[in-house]
Amino acid sequence: MRRLCLTFFPLTPSLDVRQCRGVTYRPLKSRVKSLMAEGNALDPAVPGGLIAVGTNIAPELCRGDGLVGQVLGARGSLPPVFIVLKVKIGGKDMKLSKNDTLLLNINSSAVRGTVKRTKDSTVKIELAVPICVDVGEEVTISRLANRERWFVGRGTVVGGKEAEKGEVE
């Protein structure tokens, strides 16, 4: 059983700052103050179940689920942060066209994106916000139309364009 005890960690992609040449994200850094599960203090946390992580991050950043989908990890251990994803789609009946508006579910994040190019079974999607994801992760794809979501299928992240990393908060 592997133990993970974090005392100082980056949280990415965190805040994104729009600039004229792309998107820059700024990771947040914090210290772990507490770990809880079902009202019980944990020391250490082990994989499985939901774990509440107490930090010294300003509460206003967390308000309204502001940090939902963010990735927490030890320094140097986090996946890349992408602003454009290349996804290999599964199934031959998935028809996506340039400029289709999609909703991608990646782990606990739901991210809007626009199809920029399709080639064979690979689609290039420009994301509305940066996302921290490993190459090889599976995503679900829904088409957005008339305020409704239509499940299209699944895909696997095969690469993309990384967002620029700004100064750490």
Tell me the per-residue pLDDT of 94-103, one tens digit each, with 9 for 90 and over.
788 999 999 9
The Cα 155–Cα 153 span in angstroms is: 7
Does the pTM of the predicted model rise above 0.85? no
**Would you mind telling me the total number of residues written for the chain in this entry?**
169
The answer on pLDDT for 38 being more than 70 is yes
Structural domains of the chain ordered from first start: 8-72 (2.40.30.10), 81-165 (2.40.30.10)
Tell me the per-residue pLDDT of 53-97, one tens digit each, with 9 for 90 and over.
888 888 887 788 777 778 888 778 888 889 999 999 987 667 889
